[in-house]
Amino acid sequence: MKKGFIFDLDGVIVDTAKYHFLAWQNLANSLGISFTHEQNEQLKGVSRVRSLEKILEWGNVSISQEKFTQLMSEKNEEYLKYISKMDTKEILPDVPKVLEYLQAKRQLIALGSASKNARAILEKVKLYNRFHTIVDGTNVSKAKPDPEVFLIGAKQLGVSPKNCIVFEDSVAGIQAANTADMISIGIGDKNILHEADYVFKDFTEIGEDFVNQLIITKKV
C-alpha cells in the first residue's frame, strides 16, 4: 500500500528556526519589544502575518498597516540573507536516510510548510527532488492549525487523509494533522508535542521497523 508522508520544513528537515528567531528578535527590538526563545516557540508553524500580530500584542504596540507591511518585508529580507548561505550541512540528522528509505519503499512524499521560501530552501540543501509535491505558503490561504496545507498535499499525492502521515515540530502543525485525520508524528519535545500520535526527539530515533509499521497502519 502506498501512503502519503508529509513533512513540515522548518525544524523537521532543516533548522531554520534559529534564523526566524534572529530576524523576529531584531524586528521586535526595533519596536522596543523584548522577544524570547519561548515566544519564538509559539510562532512555529504560524504565518508571517500572524507572527507579527502576536509580537505586537505581546509588546502592546500598535502600528499602521503601511508600517506592518514594511516590517513584514524587512523581516523576510533579513531571513532570506540567512538562508541564502544554507547548504546540505543544515539538514537535520538522518532526514535523508528516512527520505531515501521511503523512496526505496515506493512511498509518496510531500512537503507541507507555511514557509513561502520552502522551495528555495529545498534547492539550497539539495532535497528538492525528493518530494513528489510541495505545498507551501504560496499555495494556502489558511495557516496551521487549519489543516488546509496537509489536505492539499494529500490531494496532490492522490492519497486519502487517513492514509497520510505528518511529521511536525509545532503544536499548530500537530493540531492541523490531527484535524485532517492523519497520523501525527512530533519531532521535538514530548512535553510540548503531547497531542501527537507519536513523538521522537529527531529522526535518529526513527528506524526502518517503525516506518514499515506506518506503511501498513491506517488511521482509525
What is the tens place of the pLDDT at every residue in 179-220? 999 999 999 999 999 999 999 999 999 999 999 999 998 765
Tell me the whole-structure pTM to 2 decimals. Answer: 0.86
pLDDT of residue 26: 96
Burial of 8-26, coded b for 16+ CB within 10 Å and e otherwise, reads: bbbbbbbebbebbbebbbe
Residue 200 CB burial class (10 angstroms; 0-12, 13-18, ≥19): middle
Q: CB neighbours of 197 closer than 8 A, spacing ≥ 6?
A: 183, 184, 185
Q: What is the pLDDT of residue 220?
A: 57
Tell which residue, 83, 87, 89, 54, has the closest CA to residue 68. 54
Which sequence positions are flagged as catalytic? 8, 10
Low-confidence ranges of the chain (pLDDT < 50): none
